[in-house]
Structure 1
Amino acid sequence: MIAAFYFYPMIQALLLSFKSGRGANLHFTGLANYKRLFTDSVFLTAVKNTFLFLIVQVPIMIVLAMFISVLLNDSKLRFKGFFRTAIFLPCVTSLVAYSVVFKYLFGADGLINLALLKMHLIASPIMWISDPFWAKITIIIAITWRWTGYNMIFYLSALQNIDQSIYEAARIDGASSIRQFRSITIPMLKPIILFTSITSTIGTLQLFDEIVNITKGGPGNATLSISQYIYNLSFKYTPDFGYAATVSYTIVAMIIVLSVIQFKAAGDK
């Protein structure tokens, strides 16, 4: 089953990346598709946009998830179940549904602009969707809202498995809360930090639903992601499945390189 549904399609996609042509009329062209990547301005724009989301959003999400999990792990906190459920709920919403809701919330006459205008924080509506800078901010806000609770669950689970006697010994030795967090919590969470960093990196490199449903890659390819470009090559433009497969394998290469870097940065096994 694994060979039939995982490895066979992967191998076929790799072979497809060495072919060119329109639709099903494909012929072998060697490395031509891979050479084309370096001169394809749209692909380079998609890579730049995707890495911008990766560099900005993933660290924010990881830090936010860790911070929230520490707060929700406090034994003195009341209504912990409610807060945990509320923060995790975005993860179970439909990707398309929440993206459409965000599109209307951040519209020129949407609820976000209305609220900011009423609080006199802005003088005129912000063009969240049609301005290149604010469109990127909107996507970052959306995916942070959607996935922070998902990562929080991993940190919360790990925190509950840390022996409380370690913290008690640290408090007896006079360690402050900040010192405990830096010297105990973060080292104990190291495997989870590595895991969430890698999964978040993979998810961001494959970013598709939010882009397509909120900004459609615009304005002017300002938010175009690599996955959306693959979709466009396959189904929106004149079908070029060979080149689309080539672009797909660039994501594989990026994930491998970044995962190796993260494992090296983590230090020990």
Structure 2
Amino acid sequence: MKNSRKHRIKSATIGWSFVVLAVVMICTFTFYPMVHAFMMSLQSGTGTNLTFVGLDNYARLLKDPTFLTTVKNTVIYLIIQVPIMIILALFISVLLNNPKLKFRGFFRTAIFLPCVTSLVAYSVIFKYLFSLDGIVNILLMKISLISEPIQWLTDPFWAKITIIVAITWRWTGYNMIFYLSALQNIDYSIYESAKMDGASPIQQFFKITIPLLKPIILFTSIISTIGTLQLFDEVMNITQGGPGNATMTISQYIYNLSFKYTPDFGYAATVSYAIVIMIGIFSILQFKVAGDKNE
């Protein structure tokens, strides 16, 4: 009994020695900042001169017109861009999974490359492409689709379109990789059996591919939702939230509250937790929509 107890203690000590550093790092750099940010969200004041105000900051959110505008802008990006990106990534992955397609490796690399480029660099490039005298307007005028340049960056509607196009260009390839890896794990004999039964390619896609990719589609939808709700770099570098606040996102508003306006770290932390709440709500909705009816 005594030897067995010593052995268990020794085994536990060895096991904890491998994970204790990771646990300490996670607690220090993840959980502590989360708790500290929540405590800060219950305070208000200028700079570091904060006083406890309870839930006043959360009540302030509902009356803050700038915050409500940023929520509206972010949700617009979410409900338009995420479905387009998911559908496009799924469609491209199915095409590139075709074993008869030549140069598959080249096309896969070309479509994936945008998501490894610098966020700032590609945002600045898009800003120049969609400027008043940029390549996009020049090409559209040369092929006679438009008669005068479109105000891509200064018109509220077109500025949102520019942001959506930029995000879709960068992140479609990222989601495509997940679908490609999942498609390659589907037994090809399933499709052969479906062909023998007379199923068309469209029927195979909707009756076989989509159901088998359901967990991956849910995963990519959730991570894309989280990324869109935290959208910052593209808006900051392409439109800077303008014109007015027409393209400003919640994350940019947090940045402005902390560093651009008179620093109000307590209220900025409150807005940060609003993103956390929104992520939780959208994730639960997606699980409910995509969930198994038997669960």
Q: TM-score, normalised by structure 2?
A: 0.91
Aligned to 2:280: 256
Equivalences, count: 269
Q: How does 1:173-252 map to 2 (within 5 A)?
A: 173-252=197-276
CA offsets 1:63-85 (integer angstroms, 9 cap, x no match): 00000000000011000000000
Percent sequence identity over matched residues?
74
CA offsets 1:153-198 (integer angstroms, 9 cap, x no match): 0000000000000000000000000000010000000000000000
- For 1:91, the aligned partner's letter is C
Q: CA deviation at 1:267?
A: 1.6
CA offsets 1:89-115 (integer angstroms, 9 cap, x no match): 001100000000000000000000011
- For 1:241, the aligned partner's letter is F
Aligned to 2:57: 33
SS in 2 for 1:175: coil
Residue 158 of structure 2 corresponds to residue 134 of structure 1: yes
Residue 133 of structure 2 corresponds to residue 109 of structure 1: yes
Aligned to 2:114: 90
Q: TM-score, normalised by structure 1?
A: 0.99
- For 1:45, the aligned partner's letter is T
Q: CA deviation at 1:264?
A: 1.2
Aligned to 1:77: 101
Unaligned 5+ segments in structure 2 are 1-24
Aligned to 2:72: 48
CA distance in 2, matches of 1:149, 1:29: 45
CA distance in 1, matches of 2:159, 2:285: 30
CA distance in 1, matches of 2:235, 2:262: 21
CA distance in 2, matches of 1:121, 1:70: 31
Aligned to 2:22: none
Aligned to 2:14: none
The root-mean-square deviation of aligned C-alpha atoms, in Å, is: 0.6
SS in 2 for 1:21: strand
CA distance in 2, matches of 1:3, 1:22: 28
Q: CA deviation at 1:266?
A: 1.4
SS in 2 for 1:74: coil
Aligned to 2:13: none
SS in 1 for 2:245: coil
Q: CA deviation at 1:236?
A: 0.1
CA offsets 1:217-260 (integer angstroms, 9 cap, x no match): 00010000000000000000000000000000000000011111
SS in 2 for 1:26: strand
Question: Larger Cα Rg: Structure 1 or Structure 2?
Answer: 2
Counterpart among 89, 101, 126 of residue 65 in structure 1: 89
CA distance in 2, matches of 1:233, 1:4: 25
Aligned to 2:39: 15
CA distance in 2, matches of 1:19, 1:162: 53
CA offsets 1:93-145 (integer angstroms, 9 cap, x no match): 00000000000000000000011111111000000000000000000000000
- For 1:140, the aligned partner's letter is I
SS in 1 for 2:147: coil
SS in 2 for 1:27: strand
CA distance in 2, matches of 1:179, 1:112: 38
